[in-house]
A and B are shown apart, each in its own frame.
Chain A
Amino acid sequence: MNERHGYKMKLKNHRGFILLLLLLIIPLVAESNYLYSTLVIIGLYAIIVQGLGILMGYAGQVSFGHAAFFGLGGYTAAILTTRFHWPTLLALFASAILPGIIAGLIGRQTLKLRELYLALATLSFGILVHIFFNEGGELTGGPSGMSGIPNLSIGSFEFDSDQKFYMLVWLVLLMLLIGIYNLVHSRTGRALCSIRESEYAAENAGIDCARLKLQAFVFSALLAGLAGGLYAFYVTFISPSPFSFHTSVQFVLMAVIGGLGTFWGPVIGAVVVVALNELLREIVPLLIPGAGGEYQIIIYGVILVGLMIFQPKGLSGIGQYFRIPLKKQLKTDVKIRG
């Protein structure tokens, strides 16, 4: 069983790498800062959703508070570099670690909750952190936010262009994908899957569910924080508004659209959600002259609902069109609860 499982993942990987290669080649063909920055945003979201994917898809725990970790990472990087003049690279590490620590502290309590209650707990944590950003006074710059964040630099090499940043973000994402690939094929990965299927059964099989869930939670917060730090260095301005509840929902949406418990799901989810938004901004005004964002949001919603109807297990499932028998596919996408 294990062997076959591993073999299948490899096959899937090949297709994934074609997609990834395509994403890496496009920018080199059409040299465009707009494209780079769209891909930077996609990459950042994909990093967050990767972590969320482990938490939701493998460990079976839902979180509506990941925008908070994203924001905590961003603010950590912003505060350490502008107020305390830390080197940017060090601040970037801190921006991943601090949300991780906070996740560890709150996770110990909240992860005892299940399903709806856990969702509510993470949701209220997200709102709490958002209030903190707004009320932080001198420290966070309050509702006006903070500007003047320096560019990220390693030694004398400065990530000052969209192209350089794009390469950095996707390199991080690539390393992360390799790491996650190994993780989900390890003992821990299988243990996580078993928690998702049944916590009681997993517990009986000798798996320390509480610890594993906490680890998954901390891991996903680390990644969200890292993406937040990168975001702060990319835009060089930060304010509370991108880290609201709405963003948390967006992340969950990406994870679900991409496909929970699948390897490529998070990347696909991030690509689809961001690219669709950008495309609609281009296309909708051509179809309906003078249409504002309202129309885009409606069409966007209709498309997403359509996707969920025809592809309820997420878009990564469409890979089966590439001559993967339906039966096998179903086995990999082991039943997802809810």
Chain B
Amino acid sequence: MKKITMRLKSKLWLALLLVLSLLISACSPTKEADVKSAGGNEPYKIGAVLDISGNSSSLGVPERDTLLMMVEKLNANGGVKGHPIDLTIMDNKSDETESVLAVKTLIEKGALAILGASSSGTSMAMIKTVQSEKVPMISLAAASSIVEPTSERQWVYKTAQSDIVMINKIISYLKKNNLNKIAFLYMNNSYGDNGKKAISAAVKDSGIDIVAEEKFDANDKDMTPQLTKVKASGAQAAIVWAIPPSASILTKNFKDIGLSIPLIHSHGVGNQKFIELAQGAADGVILPIGKLSVAQQISDNDSQKKVLESYIADYSKKYNAEPNSFGGYAWDAFNLLVNALEKAGPDRVAIRDELEKTQGFVGISGVFNMTPQDHNGLKEDSAVLVQVDQGKWKLIE
């Protein structure tokens, strides 16, 4: 018996040694991978850190699928000026500490630029590293604090619209319809929190008053108490910053207690799941959204129309599913980077400079015009207002 345990122990000890030696080899500078190159040219390495598993996996998965599709397509067409793209995708499991470690591995492996991360927290955790190592990073998350202040974020860009873009869209709707007293309801997480900060700043000098402010938890099953207060406050419209399922539950409760004021949601509900979970209560809901969901309805003169339709066609052909705005953020980030790579070549500083010079780049989330002060580059024209009509999105402007 003793012998057996000893033998087992010795194996374990060996395993530990193996683990250690693997760790060393994993960390030592990796040799140039022999990626079969399109024109015999050396590949360009880029890295992506995405929230593929864990809490934000619903964001990370379509982003990963889009990136894989884009790389395959680009390399089949000869890559960037004959250089194929060698993309390494890492899963941070929606964890901030893992995000830091993942971005360091990618930089060590010689990534020219980093795409990601998917959510605000995991992106924020990577900023110090890319700033000090001087590697361009394009985040796929929305929070404006990711790219602001730009004096401390020279290397950081993002493709998702900031909340303020969406909020300005809503405010102009409120003004047009003379709705001056509003109620604001938000989900108690970083998404809702950012929405709250943005709207409090936006309404300041607009003549619009927030007469009720209520929050709820992402896991709450009933928002009737909050809505009762909204009803009592005399608000003329209710604005909600949340994502399904809580956004759907709120919409049902809203109808159940007989509120008849306009219900305005955020772009966070911009997927079919919201409508399904609201079980018919979603009809009449108004929300600002990227153009991807209403690509068929936007005018043919819209410069984005062609890009949107080709993305939808490619994605549905490959994955047999409709793409969503998260995949769109990845599409934009990848193509912005390829665009910069074409002009700059394999040089991190030059890539950063080219990213900052991006002008009139037509993407999925909008038309990007970057400046040294604006590392997102999207304006109000990147969003449209839609209304849910019999379970479908309908363009209302």
Contact = CB atoms under 8 A, between A and B. Distances in A.
Interface of A: 22, 26, 29-30, 32-35, 37-38, 41, 134-135, 142-145, 147-148, 160-162, 235-237, 239, 241-242, 272, 275-279, 281-283, 292-294, 296-297, 310-311, 315, 317-318, 320-321, 326
Nearest to A162: B104
A22 B21 CA distance: 11
B91 A321 contact: no
A239 B124 contact: yes
A278 B91 contact: no
Nearest to A317: B9
Interface in B2-32: 2, 5-6, 8-10, 12-13, 16, 19-20, 22-24, 26-29
A178 B231 CA distance: 64
B218 to A, nearest CB: 10
Interface stretch (B127-135, B246-254, B305-313): B127-135
B27 A242 contact: no
A30 B108 contact: no
Interface string B119-130: 011001101100
B interface secondary structure, majority = helix
Nearest to B104: A34
B27 A30 contact: yes
A30 B24 contact: yes
A144 B145 contact: yes
A145 B124 contact: yes
Interface residues of B, number: 53
B355 to A, nearest CB: 21
B235 interface: no
A143 B101 contact: no
Given A142-B193, A144-B194, A279-B26, A242 B12 contact: no
Given A275-B23, A326-B2, A32 B143 contact: no
15 contacts: A30-B28, A32-B27, A33-B108, A37-B104, A144-B120, A145-B121, A147-B145, A160-B132, A237-B127, A275-B19, A278-B26, A279-B19, A296-B91, A310-B8, A321-B9
Nearest to B7: A321
A318 B12 contact: yes
Interface in B146-166: 152
A144 B23 contact: no
- 5 shortest A-B CB distances, which residue pairs? A293-B53, A293-B91, A143-B190, A34-B104, A35-B27
A242 B128 contact: no
Contacts of A275: 19-20, 23
Contacts of B120: 144
Contact of B190 (A239, A296, A310): A239
B100 interface: yes
Given A22-B20, A143-B192, A276-B19, 16 more contacts: A26-B24, A26-B27, A34-B104, A142-B190, A145-B121, A237-B96, A237-B124, A241-B95, A242-B96, A278-B23, A282-B22, A292-B64, A296-B93, A318-B13, A318-B16, A326-B6
B316 interface: no
A279 B22 contact: yes
Contacts of A29: 24
Nearest to B20: A22
Contacts of B133: 33
A249 to B, nearest CB: 14
Contacts of A310: 8, 12
Nearest to B191: A143
B336 interface: no
B102 interface: yes
B101 A34 contact: yes
